[in-house]
Amino acid sequence: MTKQKQASHKKTAPRAEEPRRVRRRKFWALGMLVVAALVVIAFEVWPFGSSHSQTIANPDAPLASFFRPEVLYWRDEIEGWAREHHVNPNVIAIVIQIESCGNPNAISNAGALGLMQVMPFHFQNGENMINPDTNVARGMTVFYECLTQFAGWDLGTALACYNGGPSVTQRPFSSWANETQYYYRWATGLWSDVQNGDETSDALEDWLAAGGERLCVQAGRSQSVLATG
C-alpha cells in the first residue's frame, strides 16, 4: 500500500505544478496586454507622439487648410512660431484668425495690436509691437500663462482667458462678457474642426458672418502693401 501511495504521489505531483505554470502564463499575457494598451494610449495623448496628432503641444501637427487665405499667408511663419514656442500651429492660427485675420497692423479700440492683438503693457520697452515675430512671442507668453496657470491645459478656457483675462476662469460662463462667450465658441469650434480633420469650418463661417469678414478685408489690404513694399 505504501509503494502504491508513493507511486500515486509521483504521478499526481506534476499535475499540481501545471496550474501554476498556466497562471504564470496568464499573468504574463495580461501584463503584455496592459503594456500594449498603455503604449497605444501614450501615442494618443502624448503631445509629441505623432506628427499628425492634433494635441495642443505638438508643433509638428499639420496646419488645417480651412483657415482664411489671409491667415494662411503666414503659413511658413506660423509653422516656425509653432516650433519655437512648442505649440500646435493650429492654436496660433486660431488666435490670429479670430484676432486679426492675419493683419499685422491691426489695432483694436482697446489698443490691442498686431496679429495676435496683444496689449501694449505685455511688451518690453523699445520693442516694435506690430513686428510679427515680436507680437506672436508676446502673445504666446500670455497664452501659455492662461493655459498652464489658469485653464488647466483646457484650450477653450485658455483662449477665453486670453481674450477676457484670467478672472473669467474663476467665474461661470454665463457671467462672461458677450465678446468672450463668442470668442470661446468660435475658438472651440475651430479647434474641434481641426481635430476632426475637416476641410471646411462652420465655426469659421459663423465668425465671418459676425464681422470677421471685415477684418479679413483689412488684412488683405495690409498684405497687399507688404507684398508691394
Active site residues: 99
Dmax (CA) for the chain in angstroms is: 110
CA distance 50 to 214: 37
Half-sphere exposure of 31 (CA within 13 A, CB side): 6
Nine cell digits for residue 88: 500646435
Q: What is the DSSP code string of 80-101? A: HHHHHHTS-HHHHHHHHHHHTT
The residues, any chain, with a CB within 8 Å of residue 59's CB and separated by 6 or more, are 82, 83, 85, 86, 87, 88, 89
Secondary structure element (H or E) that encloses residue 78, with its range: helix 75-85
